[in-house]
Structure 1
Amino acid sequence: MDVQSILGNNHIEDVRWLCSLSESELDFLTGLKTLIHQRAKKIGHEALVKKFDLRTLRALSFALMENLKGELKDLSATSGFKCNLLSYNLNGISSLTIEELIPFICSDKRKRISDMFSQDMPPSQKQKTGD
């Protein structure tokens, strides 16, 4: 596998970040992308969806989670509120190379990661799977 077929149009930092997310954070990101697609379709601007690549989704999720963190700052139960959606410094995963990221991207458990950022690639660059 070459680097371009793995990354597509995405930056390695964004792919590392995506690989660091928990299942619930991936669910949030998938839901956010679905919501964007539905709203763009409803207003008749489906081409707008293509502008919401992985980097844009990362920035949007960061902004939404920062807002939520601000709204919840007075609640004592959220004093330890941490998630990788808010993280730009990825401890333990920030130095991984493409070759080291492949198990995260290509495993069945993390298939959603691969699916999420390959949606932004042209069909000619998408990797064929044996499913």
Structure 2
Amino acid sequence: MADEQRVAVVTGGSGAIGNAIVTALEESEHRTVALGRRTEIACDLTPESSAKEAAAAVLERHGRRDALVHCAAVFDAMPLSELDLPRRRRLMAGNVEASLWLAQAFAPGMAERGFGRIVLISPDAQWTPQAQ
């Protein structure tokens, strides 16, 4: 491949943490691609199909995916008593399952080239208990 510059993908790249990671990777001479709602490749990572389509778009546009930093997070601030099953499922899809879907999409190319890095950053979820 003519272009050997490593491609690093950062989910949540438009957020404070993601943007700092993008900047650090660019300074270390990576070509960076941010995934998120307001980024170069806009996507919602909660549906499996969207996460996999975003990973495919990176490969199509950049020819490789060498690193994944998954720091996107879904967090709905609410009292614990208001957490219902649909919200819980959305939180799990964005904060847990997207990691699996993206890793499944990235790992084969990394294994084929003999190099790759996947970094998963977990969100801090807090709920406020309420007296009943």
The TM-score normalised by the length of structure 2 is 0.28
Higher normalized contact order (CA 8 Å, seq sep 6+, divided by chain length) = 1
The TM-score normalised by the length of structure 1 is 0.28
Counting helix residues as a fraction of each chain, which structure ranks higher? Answer: 1
